Amino acid sequence: MKVIILNGPMGVGKTTVGKYIADRNPGTAFIDGDWCMDIHPFVGSRETKAMAVDNILHMIGNYQKCSVCSMIVLVWLMDDEWVIQRITEGLAALRAEVQSVTLACSSEDLIMRWNQDRSCEWRTDHWLNVSLKSLPGFVSMDNVIDTSGLPVNRVAEIILQQGEPAGREEL
């Protein structure tokens, strides 16, 4: 089963793009990694991240057993190398076909998106500054898509095209 992983800083559009892909591809399960460590108040420690990784892999394993599920989209901010490694190793053990993408954008686009999303409790000035400071780290990761100025449907097309078998025509 194919698993598309969308990584990137807070506010870049991981959830928006992931839900867009899931909504347009029947049989697609959507997992937000934040759901897997939803502790109040938020605690982003190594222990809680390890628990979230275990929860994510358990969910993916269960979706693999579901006859109506044909693809999974996982969105989560993964800026710790050990988290990425554990997810990657876990998906290999589950024999999943993995497509991992890191979404990034300009600081200006991140600020604009942040200000447009008032439904998320994390959209505070403090977390915006944290997200802006994290941008360079995400830009240096593998398979980065610069989403600056791109509508959600175009970002989704780029992701899905990258996951197609070799030899397919470019957009």
CATH code at position 68 = 3.40.50.300
Question: Do the domain assignments include residue 140?
Answer: yes
In a domain, 170, yes or no: no
CA atoms of 74 and 67, how far apart (whole Å): 19
CA dist 6 → 47, 69, 124, 168 (Å): 22, 18, 22, 22
How far is residue 49's CA from residue 37's CA, in Å, rounded to a whole number? 7
Rounded to two decimals, what is the model's pTM?
0.94
* Angle, vertex CA 94, rays to CA 25 and CA 78, nearest 5: 70
Q: Is residue 169 part of a domain?
A: no
pLDDT tens per residue, the chain (171 residues)?
999 999 999 999 999 999 999 999 999 999 999 999 999 998 999 999 999 999 999 999 999 999 999 999 999 999 999 999 999 999 999 999 999 999 999 999 999 999 998 788 889 999 999 999 999 999 999 999 999 999 999 999 999 999 887 544 443
Residue 167 resides in a domain: no
Q: Is the dihedral of CA 31, 142, 50, 163 positive or negative?
A: positive
Domain contains 17: yes
Report if residue 168 sits inside a domain: no
Residue 32 lies in a domain: yes
| CA dist., res. 71 & res. 50, Å (int) | 24
Range of the domain at 116: 2-162
pLDDT of residue 166: 58
How many domains, in total, are found in the chain? 1
Order across the sheet with 144-146: list the strands. 28-32, 71-75, 2-7, 97-104, 144-146
